[in-house]
Chains A and B, each alone.
Chain A
Amino acid sequence: MSRTRIDPVLRALPAWLVPLAMLAVTEFAMRASGIESDGLARPSEVATALLGLIGNGEIVLRTAETIGAVTIGVAVGGTLGLLLGVWMGLSPTAARLASLTVELVRPIPPVAIIPLMMLIYGLGIKMEAAIIAFACFWPMLLLSRDAVLGVEPQLIEVSRMLGLPRRQQITKIALPAALPRIFAALRLTLGIALIVAVTTEIAANPIGIGYAIISAGLSLRPEVMYAFLFWLAILGWLLNTGLVAMHQHLFGAAYGEAPR
């Protein structure tokens, strides 16, 4: 077959074919080898388990717990990070004074503060949300600071020449100009939040998808464990796709395509 005939066929192939093919190969390989394991399950078993979890509502409950913690954590950590980041972007003095503290505390891995947060908040959504807030605060702070620093200096100068008061310089000029980049920071932060949420649940907190994964693994139900893992992948994809769509809807025409 000539190249000109193959190219249109290849271009027409949908992206979902790749994961589907990978699953089919895994299923075939596992059946052919007759593998028996307490830690592995065939994709067909995982699919059945996933349907069961949807049917009995467990997946909805676990997802609501994880997403609840993520929402609170991002709202708290993201907002604080955004406010401080904008302030640092606008005020060189604030940036200078805060820089050492930021660079000292920022490298602390969020999971390292699990024991401390457990002592303060105990088990449950508050503890998890606090850890997520800590994890989201830093990227939001740095990215929103950079977003504000990246605003065209001429824009600020024009606003000064027009005699706009300081507050309006921020709300009318700096923030709108930095908003697309701040939104990109939010997308990045949400990804981090989901990772931290599930890690916290696996390590310590008996709620959410992470808890469901570790519990299923320890009770010798690998198919359920992988069903939750698979669901987690879908959830991450859904979150990202939703935010990309929102990014394009809000800023697409004015600021070009959102990075995927």
Chain B
Amino acid sequence: MRAAVPTLLKMMLAALAVQLSMTGLAAAQTKITIGVPPVPEFVLPMIAVEKGYFKDHGIDATIKIIPGGQSMPAALQSDSLQIAALSTASLIQVTDSGLDLVVVSGGAIASVDDTNYGIVAGANSEIEKPEDFIGKRIGTPGLGSFFHIMAREWFRRKGVDWKKITFVESTFPQLGDLLKARTVDAVLSTNPFLQRAAIPGIGGKVFYIAADLPDRLPPFVYAGSRSWADAHREAATGFKRAMDEAIAFQQHDLPAALEIFGKYVKMPPEVLKTLTINKLDTNVTPQQVQLWVDMMDKQDMLRNFKSPDALFLK
């Protein structure tokens, strides 16, 4: 009995030591909240959480699904979110307006063979070529959004004056119904909404606009406030590395990646199965960001934006 007491004491002390070391490990993790919209392109942080890639890089991440992207910049600035998925156009615009945000990681790349961004003409709209859009109404998810900017640039490159086209704002799920009801002549959309609007009888010709836009255009990036990114350089680097591992996972096993997406964004199973994901890439350069600046400049959207270099931490 006498021998048992010190043994028990030793075991308790050992257990306490293990507990303390684990607490120390947990404390070493940088806590972050990541804001992403409910779209499959933003599956990477979800994979990185579920597969433990963030933990491996010293990050204790929580995902917050935020519909639309309008509130993300303010949430970053107020430190409610440490990292958020922002459209590159939105990042440029809010920086132009004075917010001090930087790119933490790239997100996706729109290549010229991309079929994820399109304008679906109505089944009986008689729209067959870009010029046919003049005088028509296009349902658009967010006026001034990166979709809208891409579409206007596409029309410019096709020699069509986009000012002669009426863009009508709507949410993604309503676009198909608007087209069906002929409230609009065409809709600008992305998957899975694009596929649903393009069903025969509702949609007619589909114009995949990325084909005529600059190659390797980054539609969105992951951004943080400069002060946070500067103070947490290790976590910012770890974030990008974890995202690279998530890309490898997504490329290796798309159904598993979509299953993870379904855990965060509850979609009907039949829709979940049809989802596709753009080419994802965490690398983004000031030159790629400049492609957006050029498009936005032509659309008179910027006031005093200096250089995309300022969006990257030195």
Binding site for B on A (CB under 8 A): 37-40, 114-115, 118-124, 203-206, 211, 214-215, 217-222, 224
Residue in B74, B266, B267, B268 whose CB lies within 8 Å of A119: B74
A-B contact pairs, 16 of them (CB 8 A): A37-B177, A38-B173, A39-B173, A39-B177, A115-B74, A118-B74, A118-B80, A123-B75, A203-B71, A206-B64, A206-B66, A211-B67, A215-B265, A217-B171, A219-B265, A219-B266
From B67, B71, B78, B80, A215 is in contact (CB under 8 Å) with B67
Contact, CB under 8 Å: B267 / A220: yes
Interface check B96, CB cutoff 8 A:
no
Chain B residues 49 to 86 lying within 8 A of chain A, measured CB to CB, are 64-67, 70-71, 74-75, 77-81
Assess the B265–A122 pair: CB atoms within 8 A: no
Chain B hits for A40, CB < 8 A: 177
CB distance from A114 to the nearest CB of B (A): 8
Closest to B180 in A: A37
Given the known interface contacts A119-B77, A122-B80, the answer about A221 and B64 at a Cβ–Cβ threshold of 8 Å is no
Instruction: Find the B residue at minimum CB distance from A219.
Output: B267
Q: A118-B75, A215-B65 are in contact. List 18 more A-B contacts (CB 8 A).
A: A37-B176, A37-B180, A38-B177, A39-B173, A39-B174, A118-B71, A118-B78, A118-B80, A122-B79, A122-B81, A123-B75, A206-B65, A215-B38, A218-B67, A219-B266, A221-B266, A221-B267, A224-B266
Give the chain B neighbours of A114 by CB distance below 8 A: 71
Let me know if B172 is at the binding interface, CB within 8 A. Answer: yes
Q: Are B192 and A220 in contact, CB atoms less than 8 angstroms apart? A: yes
Contact A217 B74 (CB under 8 A): no
In the bound complex, residues from chain B placing their C-beta under 8 Å from that of A215 are 38, 65, 67, 265
Contacts of A206 in B (CB 8 A): 64-67
Contact yes or no, A123 B64, CB < 8 A: yes
Contact A123 B267 (CB under 8 A): no
Residue of B nearest to A38 (CB): B173
Total contacting residues, chain B, CB less than 8 A:
29
User: Closest CB-CB distance, A199 to chain B, in whole Å?
Assistant: 13
Complex: chain B residue closest to A213, CB-CB: B67
Partner of B81, one of A38, A123, A204, A222: A123
* A-facing residues in B72-121 (Cβ within 8 Å): 74-75, 77-81
B137 close to chain A: CB less than 8 A = no
State whether B271 touches A220 (Cβ < 8 A): yes
Whether the Cβ atoms of B267 and A214 lie closer than 8 Å is no
B196 at the interface (CB under 8 A from A): yes
Given the known interface contacts A206-B64, A214-B67, the answer about A124 and B80 at a Cβ–Cβ threshold of 8 Å is: yes
Give the chain A neighbours of B74 by CB distance below 8 A. Answer: 115, 118-119
Residues of the B chain whose Cβ atoms lie less than 8 Å from the Cβ of A224: 266
Chain A residues within 8 Å of B81, by CB: 122-123
Taking the closest CB of chain B, its distance from the CB of A42, in whole angstroms, is: 15
Q: Which residues of A contact B173 (CB under 8 A)?
A: 38-39, 217-218, 220, 222
Give the one of A120, A121, A123, A222 with max B CB within 10 A: A123
Distance in angstroms from A224 CB to nearest chain B CB is 8
State A221–B268 Cα separation when bound (angstroms): 7
Q: State which residues 191-228 of B face A: CB under 8 Å.
A: 192-193, 196
- Residues of chain A with a CB closer than 8 A to B38's CB: 215, 218-219
A220 neighbours in B (Cβ, 8 Å): 173, 192, 267-268, 271
A220 to B173, CA, bound (A): 7
8 Å CB contact of B70 from A119, A122, A204? A204
Query: Using Cβ atoms and an 8 Å threshold, which residues of chain B touch A221?
Result: 266-268
Interface residues of B in 266-294 (CB under 8 A from A): 266-268, 271
Complex Cα distance, B180 from A206, in Å, reads 31
Q: Is the CB of B78 within 8 A of A122?
A: yes
What residues of A have a CB within 8 angstroms of the CB of B267 in the complex? Answer: 219-221
Task: Indicate if the CB atoms of A38 and B196 lie closer than 8 Å.
Answer: yes
Are B71 and A218 neighbours in the complex by a CB distance under 8 Å?
no
Distance, CA A118 to CA B75, complexed state (A): 6
